[in-house]
Amino acid sequence: MKFGKEFASQMVPEWQEAYMDYDHLKTFLKEIQSIKQRNKQAAAATGPESLTRALTLYRAYSGLIIQRHKHNHPMMMMTSSPSMKDIESSIVLNSVNRNGSHSYKTTFLMATTEDGGEYEQDFFNRLDNEFNKVDRFYRFKVQEVMEEAETLSKQMDALIAFRIKALALQEALFDSMSSDDDGDPLDVLDHVELHNTLGTPYSIMRRFVNSTDQQKQVTFNRDTLKNVETKLKRAFIQFYHKIGLLKSYSFLNILAFSKIMKKYDKITLRSESTCYMNMVDNSYIGSSDELTKLMERVEVAFIKHFSNSNRRKGMNILRPKTKKAAHIVSFFTGIFSGCTVALILALIIIIRARHLLNKEGKNQYMENLFPLYSFFAFIFLHMVMYAGNIYYWRRYRINYSFIFGFKQGTELGYMDVLLASFGVAVLALTSVLMNLDMEMDPKRNDYKALTELLPLGLVLVALQDFFLADQLTSQVQAFRSLEFYICYYGWGDYKLRQNTCKTNDVYDTFYIIVAVIPYWWRFLQCIRRVYEEKDRMQGYNAVKYFMGIVAISTRSAYSLYMGMGWKIIAGITSAIAAIYCTYWDLVVDWGLLQRHSKNRWLRDKLLVPCKTVYFAAMVLNVILRFAWLQTVLDLKLDFLHEEIVITIFASLEIIRRGIWNFFRLENEHLNNVGKYRAFKSVPLPFKYYEDEDEDGDE
């Protein structure tokens, strides 16, 4: 792999703007090479006199003149070894300190005397700009890390004191410590309180009603100690990872400068890389060893306090092994995908050969068993869309694992998700083939109990994988399928393929409730963030989900009770919700429709090179957002059963969600890049505060 691609692949995605722009400098060097080649061809075409004059000028300023060779012919000097050329350097490096900001400037001494010299000076100007950018960013990040190290040190002091007080078994221990001439090590606890991160509506209300004094009371027991240790351990792991990325940032950029200078030497036939790299090595980014020492101290502290002085255990936690791609995953994915295709073809052939669509039991099958199996179609489609999302997130270097908060090295790849999805498909299609009878047993007047229970057994196997998708608001029909499972096998007569679910008031009520649950969940999350983060946008987001609750409730009511009144209400509420949600998708979640951006009606930065993709995605999102029209307009397709129509439109919503996922994470990733935010804030267990009595005395 060429260095440029390797360099890009190892960048911290959120810091990519802060890295040396290797490709830009490499392209500029190619332009210099082209200019020199043109000049050389032009010199050759002008004749010997002009060539002799050009070579003489070149010798006068190239540092090739050595006293003992002053009588040599110019052509002899051109064939000398490259090491003879750079007795004198063609560049001068200056270090400038302005207003506390340190920068470097390179002057090319032959800029005005050599053909193409101005381009080489321009190259060094650009090179200096890149180096100064990298050096400033590195200084800033190191300072940030050192401040964070100080904070973690205070947290460790509080933890050690907390351990002593929580694990002490005799009061005499406290007395002996208090009488120590060096002072009480537990004094630090007088200046801290537990910093709780509350995540449920109940905990928010509890926090609201509790007084400040109650919040500052600390319970010293093993459970609280374990919670404190878990938080601080996570903070140390995150901090160590940040130091590692900064060290990698330093190494990669220094290597990039070395590579680009070697290319410069090769193109210009000079030897300036040694001089320039000496400057790089002596700069802050090249000579600072603060991070190395800090990393060693973090390792010592973590091993001692969080892994019982077991170095191997501690280092395995701090430096988890990178997950390697398993060929067996690709192998079984291929097998299961082939089996899925084969089973679908077998299903089509059997239906056609047996003329099952003309059987009397067709409607009974579609109304009772088809809703059970369509559930797995929703799972499969959603997982395939998620696998596609992962593939394209990785292709365009969108740091989805960071955005989702996945533990490093544990995130699933797209092949892992495809394996799970095709595994579900094979199980579901096999069950369908085994349960494809349309006629009752004439002797027993029922269906085989074992085959009729296949969908129930299958859903218990795949339910866990379904919730991995975490896209519940687009799985309303899947939730309703689960409700139908409960009703069909709990109160229906599955042996006769009969049920009274849709005529049951309790079922109708829960038919609306299960559809609302995902939206209600997201609504409460938004309300929580409004309270905790004081973020007004989350309030508007909560309005979006509330409107979704109203719209889906009225549409569900209309589908159950019909009537012109319900139809009008459902149409109005759904139209308002769809317009609001579409605007939110395109403008807020995707960051598009920016009129004055560099890419008109899109946004300034795009990761997908083809702009048409964005416009097509916007149009498709609008169309699929208004798929609810089918519910209100009562579109009837005579050649399709009603259950198939419902399944088709539910699948379209899953597809829309898959498309939304990609552009939503792309926008989030670009926001992180713009803020150089490569780490999530880890909640620390202790919060330091000033003594209230001292504040009062002042």
209 and 333 part of one domain: no
344 and 209 part of one domain: no
Contacts 24+ apart (CB under 8 A), 405-413: 405/680, 408/241, 408/320, 409/320, 409/321, 409/322, 409/323, 410/323, 411/323, 413/323, 413/325, 413/329
Give the domain-ending residue among 444, 470, 503. Answer: 503
* Tokens read off for 391: 């593939």
What residues contact 193, with CB distance under 8 A and at least 6 apart?
215, 216, 218, 686, 687, 689
- Tell me how many domains the chain contains: 2
User: What is the percent of the chain where pLDDT is above 90?
Assistant: 20
pLDDT tens digits along 69-101: 333 333 333 333 333 334 467 888 888 776 667
What residues contact 356, with CB distance under 8 A and at least 6 apart?
350, 362, 436, 438
CA distance 525 to 531: 10
Q: Is the pLDDT reported for residue 466 higher than 70?
A: no
Out of 1-5, 175-179, 586-590, 654-658, pick the least confident: 175-179
* Phi/psi at 163 (5° precision): -60, -45
CA distance 517 to 94: 65
Give the type of residue at 179. Answer: S
204 and 239 part of one domain: yes
pLDDT tens digits along 182-229: 565 666 766 677 765 444 444 444 444 444 444 445 566 677 778 888
Q: Is the pLDDT reported for residue 102 higher than 80?
A: no
CA distance 543 to 537: 10
Mean pLDDT to the nearest integer, 17-23: 91
Q: Is the pLDDT reported for residue 443 higher than 80?
A: no
The full DSSP string for 416-467 is HHHHHHHHHHHHHHHHHHHT---S--TTTSS--HHHHTHHHHHHHHHHHHHH
Mean pLDDT, the chain, rounded, equals: 77
Give the type of residue at 353. Answer: A
334 and 185 part of one domain: no
CA distance 23 to 30: 11
Give the domain-ending residue among 477, 503, 529. Answer: 503
CA-based angle 396:400:406, to the nearest 5?
A: 150
Query: Distances in Å between the alpha carbon of 620 and those of 615, 625, 658, 661, 678?
Result: 9, 8, 12, 14, 32
pLDDT tens digits along 291-345: 999 999 999 999 988 888 888 888 888 887 766 667 888 888 999 999 999 999 9
* CB contact at 8 A, 652 and 624: yes
Out of 176-190, 279-293, 558-572, pick the least confident: 176-190
Out of 204-208, 364-368, 421-425, 675-679, pick the least confident: 204-208
220 and 156 part of one domain: yes
213 and 333 part of one domain: no
Q: Is the pLDDT reported for residue 252 higher than 90?
A: yes
CA end-to-end span of the chain: 66
Give the domain-ending residue among 266, 285, 319. Answer: 319
pLDDT band at 64 (very low <50, low <70, confident <90, very high): very low
Q: How many residues does the chain have?
A: 698
369 and 305 part of one domain: no
Asked if residue 578 is part of any domain, the answer here is no
Asked if residue 596 is part of any domain, the answer here is no
CA distance 84 to 98: 38
412 and 287 part of one domain: no
Q: Check residue 266 and report its DSSP letter.
A: H
The full DSSP string for 550-606 is HHHHHHHHHHHH--HHHHHHHHHHHHHHHHHHHHIIIIIIS---BTTSSSTTB-S--
Which residue do the tokens 């997950």 mark?
323
Q: Is the pLDDT reported for residue 387 higher than 90?
A: yes
pLDDT for residue 169? 41
- Global model pTM greater than 0.85: no
pLDDT band at 129 (very low <50, low <70, confident <90, very high): very high
* Phi/psi at 612 (5° precision): -60, -30
Mean pLDDT to the nearest integer, 151-175: 71
Give the structural domain span for 381. 328-503
75 and 170 part of one domain: yes
Asked if residue 688 is part of any domain, the answer here is no
Best CA proximity match to 382, nearest among 326, 345, 424, 352: 424
179 and 228 part of one domain: yes
pLDDT for residue 62? 38
Asked if residue 679 is part of any domain, the answer here is no
CA distance 244 to 254: 16
Mean pLDDT to the nearest integer, 117-124: 87
Mean pLDDT to the nearest integer, 434-443: 60
pLDDT tens digits along 642-695: 888 888 888 998 899 899 989 998 998 888 777 667 666 677 877 776 544 444
pLDDT for residue 12? 85
Asked if residue 658 is part of any domain, the answer here is no
Asked if residue 491 is part of any domain, the answer here is yes
359 and 433 part of one domain: yes
pLDDT for residue 59? 41
Asked if residue 109 is part of any domain, the answer here is yes
pLDDT for residue 678? 66
297 and 443 part of one domain: no
Q: Is the pLDDT reported for residue 68 higher than 50?
A: no
Asked if residue 65 is part of any domain, the answer here is yes
CA distance 631 to 648: 12
* CB contact at 8 A, 685 and 415: no
CA distance 475 to 653: 8
pLDDT for residue 582? 93
